[in-house]
Amino acid sequence: MPRKIIIDTDPGVDDTMAIFFALCSPELDVIGLTSIFGNVHTELATTNALRLLEIAGRADIPVAQGAVDPLTQPFEGPVPFVHGEDGQGDIFAPEPAGSAINLSAAQFIIERLRAHPGEITLVPVGPLTNIALALRLEPRIADWVHEVVLMGGNALVPGNASPAGEANIRNDPEAADLVFGAAWQVTMVGLDVTLRVHMKPDDIAEYAAHGNPMSEHISRILPHYRNYFEANYDAEGIFVHDSSAIAYLIDPTLFQVRRWAMRVGTQGLGRGKTWPATGGHTLPAWQGRPLVNVCVGVDGERVVALAAERLRNA
166 binds, among ligand BDR, Ca ion, none (CB under 5 to 8 A by kind): ligand BDR
| Bridge partner list, 294 | 188, 258
Residue choice 129, 160, 215, 274 for contact with ligand BDR (CB under 6 A):
160
Residue nearest to ligand BDR according to CB distances in the complex: 167
Please state, as a whole number, how many other Cβ atoms lie within 10 Å of the Cβ of residue 219: 17
Pairwise CA distance, residues 142 & 109, whole Å: 11
Residue number, 172 or 242, with CB nearest to ligand BDR: 242
Stretch binding ligand BDR (CB under 6 A), from 165-173, 177-185, 246-254, 299-307:
165-173
Interface of this chain with Ca ion, residues 119 to 148, rule: CB under 5 A: 125-126
Phi/psi for 188 (5° steps) reads -105, 115
> 245, 190 in Cβ contact below 8 A?
no
Stretch binding Ca ion (CB under 5 A), from 93-101, 200-208, 238-246, 299-307:
238-246
Residue choice 16, 25, 35, 39 for contact with ligand BDR (CB under 6 A):
39
Residue choice 5, 6, 7, 14 for contact with ligand BDR (CB under 6 A):
14
Amino acid at 215: S
Residue choice 15, 166, 172, 177 for contact with Ca ion (CB under 5 A):
15
Q: Is 151 in the site for ligand BDR (CB under 6 A)?
A: yes
CA 279 to chain centre: 28
Interface of this chain with ligand BDR, residues 99 to 128, rule: CB under 6 A: 125-126
| Bridge partner list, 120 | 4
Stretch binding ligand BDR (CB under 6 A), from 8-16, 84-92, 180-188, 252-260:
8-16
Stretch binding ligand BDR (CB under 6 A), from 20-28, 132-140, 164-172, 287-295:
164-172
C-alpha torsion 103→106→108→109, nearest 10: 180
146 catalytically annotated: no
Q: Is 241 in the site for ligand BDR (CB under 6 A)?
A: yes
> 55, 63 in Cβ contact below 8 A?
no
Q: Is 86 in the site for ligand BDR (CB under 6 A)?
A: no
**Shortest reach from residue 152's CB to Ca ion, in Å:** 8
**Shortest reach from residue 10's CB to Ca ion, in Å:** 5
10 catalytically annotated: yes
> 39, 78 in Cβ contact below 8 A?
yes
The catalytic residue among 8, 10, 86, 242 is: 10
160 binds, among ligand BDR, Ca ion, none (CB under 5 to 8 A by kind): ligand BDR
In the complex, the residues that contact ligand BDR under the rule CB under 6 A are: 12, 14-15, 38-39, 82, 125-126, 151, 160, 166-168, 241-242
* Residues taking part in catalysis: 10, 241
